[in-house]
Chains A and B, each alone.
Chain A
């Protein structure tokens, strides 16, 4: 091919693409995906990402358990999910191929690093012989690229260890994908320069490999055309990519600044919540205190102590940690102190699948305590929604003097999307009411409107009092064993949380009409999938609508009437029917579930199938 011919390579314009990088957990797939995400954001595409990594830090190299993957869906239109099926799969070794091939669309592009398809690696992946054969080539467009060897060649003459050379092969794959989808390399080049500013040799090597990958796409005859995805029509403003955990941290910082109260985070490392602890601990300059406690119990205990002393106490964890915190959560409820309890859910039960997503802690948070113990529950629905949901959780906690559950999950925590950075002036103000007035003070004297007790913090003269988990007398807050008082206090605790429904927005239909054959009701991280499925169903002409719950306790005040506007209700969940149970119990509606717990987000297609099946039943 001559140079002129090279330039004549076609560039096709596509509306959207879903690609996945898959390799060994030591292959740097998360980093590669992160860089591709940044470049895609710069192009101006709408995007959504899904990292998928193993629980083991370094499972044996080449093993199926050690496969780490990063998926990104990008488009010139608004999108809601990281995508169901893949247009391109980059498989860095046989194990990555084996575990990811089933998600590749028929006719999709399969790019494999043939150098990694050695006898040992094939065996580790459970292949007798190389699967890259005629059969595979008939089903997919297979591109066998000697990624490892080409990386070595690019670095020939440089005095680098073979380990180091091998470790930079992900940048070859990244460069190749940059060419294939016409993404700019500048951001990655800048990032490398910053990262290796004191290691010029490694920087040079990395840049060489990145460019080698790009040029490989451009110059070889392997690829006939590259693709372009025009920028999406996005609201004007300043953007950045944000993961759910990052947005959670920013939400906490914002809530601290908006309320003027310091944050105290008591936490114990647990996947997938640890990044919140890591990230928040960088903001000591804003008076944020982070305490890595000796265990989950000490984590929440210290946070509750901080709340008692006048900070916004926060604890972050995942399902197994929440189990350990239960007794303290109940004490926070009983002593009516503001406390933010973050549950970044993962697949349970027990240790479960630590790095896989699920939304199966709802009933635990709703009921997992002794006695009648009502606590508000809020769930974020997208990575950036973690920001707004957190601010709202803090607002409710401070206004109503109650612990509040903030729910996210592994999918939101690690998934990223572009976030339009809000103006500080647009953010809600958060009012704090410390009691200082001595006259007429009682520790359980309730505000007439909010039914909250006063927050009288140590250090305030004349308001000395003791709080306790033992039942206390209404108003005075003194220990009280009177049966009548206990009955009315239990009812008051339920009533005052239920009362919050007057202060939260009504639930609204997202797509579809306000009446119809089917309402698809969801909560949490399934928003994107359910919304995309509803769009498709509407295009097919069905009378469907979808609505999504951010407030799981109390429910929005109009939820009951909304449900009754539809002939049937479908509740898709990544659990075995937890919201369904609550909705059926509370509203006596014959809601049906669509439930799957395979550690992955829902598939749009499977929600559509479930909805069509239910719609058929409604008709007959």
Chain B
């Protein structure tokens, strides 16, 4: 008999702890969107776990009323791996940032993705270190002037979407704190995905990197400088839907769509087995500003998860060999002394 779930509302996922993010921080909108999505998951509250690392975003679990583990810098994916592997019934969400997830935790990022750990990973990308008060991050643009780079950063930035796709994440999406509706949709899709669901959330840091995403999320420019991906639909953008993306070999091209001639426009395929399409789309916009920045789901494929395989092996082993502790202790070459 199915147990009936309590009818949750957003309030049920709010905690009584005071929220300590700066006024105007993009984190508030993300928190609110997540709290609003939780009642729609069909998962009892006690089976939801939020695991975070260190950084502004990693305070997140304290502001939810589910189970939470606020761990150490860069390591939430490792803890989440142990949680999910121990109890695969849990819905495990990881909250990390560009420093936590891609700098100090870069190694774990790659391996969690390639293993298709059944986790939802929210990477708050504000392209700066906020909690330590304003050093450049691995997603900061080349030449970024910060406290630690007074003459401008000399590191090339990492693109989280490309990295996740290259590493083998089975669900990869980008959204932005400003667009609550889109965030909510993406979170729901991620929740519905079995396997590694990676979401880059462009998140504005009002104090140390304000307006970092204005060039493609600002009111007046967003239509011409961003494109929203929808499965099986052409990539069309612009205020008047007058532009489209065409793929020429491995390179995107902007074509005119003034007369609605979208038949040359690239049809997006979330479920394409080949990782190349998602990779190409992920590269657009952020570092090469002639292209619009893509938002939405880049890749969504079904593959056995790490936990599927873990429990499958366990089942096979259990069927093959039943052993008591006594049998284990007495196995191997033994002899009796009388």
Contact = CB atoms under 8 A, between A and B. Distances in A.
A297 B107 CA distance: 10
Given A238-B330, A240-B332, A424-B329, A298 B108 contact: yes
Interface centre among A302, A331, A469 (most CB of B within 10 A): A302
A466 B69 contact: yes
A203 interface: no
B263 interface: no
Interface residues of B, number: 62
A105 to B, nearest CB: 30
B55 interface: no
A468 interface: yes
Interface in A325-339: 327-328, 331, 335
Interface stretch (A21-29, A60-68, A92-100, A456-464): A456-464
A313 interface: yes
A262 interface: yes
A286 B325 CA distance: 9
Contacts of B62: 466, 468, 479
B90 A458 contact: yes
Nearest to A331: B72
Contacts of B51: 305
A473 to B, nearest CB: 11
Interface residues of A, number: 70
A478 B61 CA distance: 12
Contact of A305 (B64, B80, B310): B80
Given A305-B82, A458-B83, A479-B62, A283 B46 contact: no
Given A257-B325, A467-B70, A479-B17, A309 B87 contact: yes
Interface string B57-78: 0000110111111111101011
Contact of A254 (B66, B80, B81, B325): B325
Contact of B45 (A253, A257, A464): A464
A291 B329 contact: no
Given A264-B85, A459-B87, A328 B72 contact: yes
A235 B326 contact: no
A328 B74 CA distance: 11
A239 interface: yes
B318 interface: yes
Contacts of A328: 72, 75
Interface string A287-307: 101010111011111111111
A297 B83 contact: no
Contacts of B333: 38, 41, 187, 240-241
Contact of B68 (A42, A291, A422, A466): A466
Contacts, number: 200
Given A289-B310, A461-B44, A461-B46, A302 B335 contact: no
A304 B313 CA distance: 22
B96 to A, nearest CB: 13
Given A311-B86, A458-B49, A465-B68, A237 B329 contact: no
A422 B322 CA distance: 20
Contacts of A422: 329
A289 B314 contact: yes
A327 B77 CA distance: 15
B132 interface: no
A352 B186 CA distance: 50
Interface in A215-236: 234-236
Contact of A466 (B61, B89, B335): B61
A459 B317 contact: no
Contacts of B47: 458-459
Nearest to A420: B337
Contact of B67 (A41, A283, A307, A465): A465
Nearest to A246: B332
Interface string A250-281: 10011001100010101000000000000000
B335 A42 contact: yes
The 9 A-B residue pairs whose C-beta atoms are closest, nearest first, are: A305-B82, A301-B78, A466-B68, A302-B82, A284-B317, A305-B79, A468-B70, A309-B86, A306-B82
25 contacts: A187-B333, A238-B336, A253-B328, A264-B85, A285-B321, A289-B314, A293-B78, A293-B81, A298-B77, A302-B79, A304-B71, A305-B78, A305-B79, A305-B81, A308-B82, A309-B83, A310-B86, A421-B329, A458-B83, A459-B87, A465-B67, A466-B64, A466-B67, A467-B68, A470-B70
Interface of B: 15, 17, 44-47, 49-51, 61-62, 64-73, 75, 77-87, 89-90, 107-108, 110-111, 310, 313-314, 316-318, 320-326, 328-330, 332-338
